[in-house]
Amino acid sequence: MTEQTLRKLLESVRKGEQSIDEAITRLRAMPFEDIGFAKIDHHRSIRCGFPEVIYCEGKSADQVAAIFDRCAEAGNNILATRASRDVYDAVARTYPKAEYNETARSITLRQQEKTPSPGTIAIVSAGTSDLPVAEEARVTAEMMDQTTATFYDVGVAGIHRLFAHSEALQAAGVAVVVAGMEGALASVVGGLVDCPVIAVPTSIGYGASFQGLAALLGMLNSCASGVTVVNIDNGFGAGYTAALINRRCQPTSTRAE
């Protein structure tokens, strides 16, 4: 249940359009709903401003479909991450309007009108191999009603590609920088912009990259002051955090419900 839905419910009780008992019946499942293999947090959108996100890896297609169904019935926008095509097919049987981003491995269902943010989140990737993580960040931020601009394949090996976008990058309210190998791109972007930079190391690179550990350590040791770092391949975490920051930069009246 969203804050907007809760307000409508309380208003209907105030006007006498719905009885207190009927409202209580609807509110019983608000804190969380136990469906046996999962406890769905219906209250999260009110506490945190965005509903619970479904992490699909390790869950069966039927389990994800059941969780997706219960979340969708609450009227929320739905985001499921790390989803396979088989999982999407199971969801789409009930929700044909759900969309699958194969690169990001995400499933989305928008049930509420989008209110794009005035501020922009820049999503920057070093190489094409980093796109799955960058796209996960972009999809997450956009599902949280944030405006994004993408700057893909602009790594330090051809740094002129990045500098060609300097003006657009400097206009962003937050930047998410996704890079593997040595992870140097985050420091370079951090030296170009006056906004927070969220660095995402990826598990891209040869043996000595240690599945992203080299990029992670490089980003943690960045000499650029405005750079913070999330975990390896965590595009979702970066996109979510960027959205929270960008929301705080907006006037209160324009923030999403």
Per-residue pLDDT of the chain (257 residues; tens, 9 = 90+): 556 666 777 788 888 888 887 776 666 556 766 677 777 777 677 777 777 899 999 999 999 999 999 888 878 889 999 999 999 999 999 999 999 999 999 999 998 888 888 899 999 999 999 999 999 999 999 999 999 999 999 999 999 999 999 999 999 999 999 999 999 999 999 999 999 999 999 999 999 999 999 999 999 999 999 999 999 999 999 999 999 999 887 655 444 44
CB of 193 closer than 8 Å to CB of 173: no
CATH topology assigned to domain 120-248: Rossmann fold (3.40.50)
Phi, psi of 50 (to 5 degrees): -155, 140
| Closest C-alpha among 83, 115, 82, 56 to residue 251 | 115
Q: Report which of 230, 160, 246 is spatially closest to residue 196, judged by C-alpha positions.
A: 246
**Domain edges within the chain:** 3-109, 120-248
Enumerate the β-bridge partners of residue 151.
124
Cβ atoms of 33 and 70 closer than 8 Å: yes
Quote the distance between the C-alpha of residue 6 and its chain's center. Answer: 24
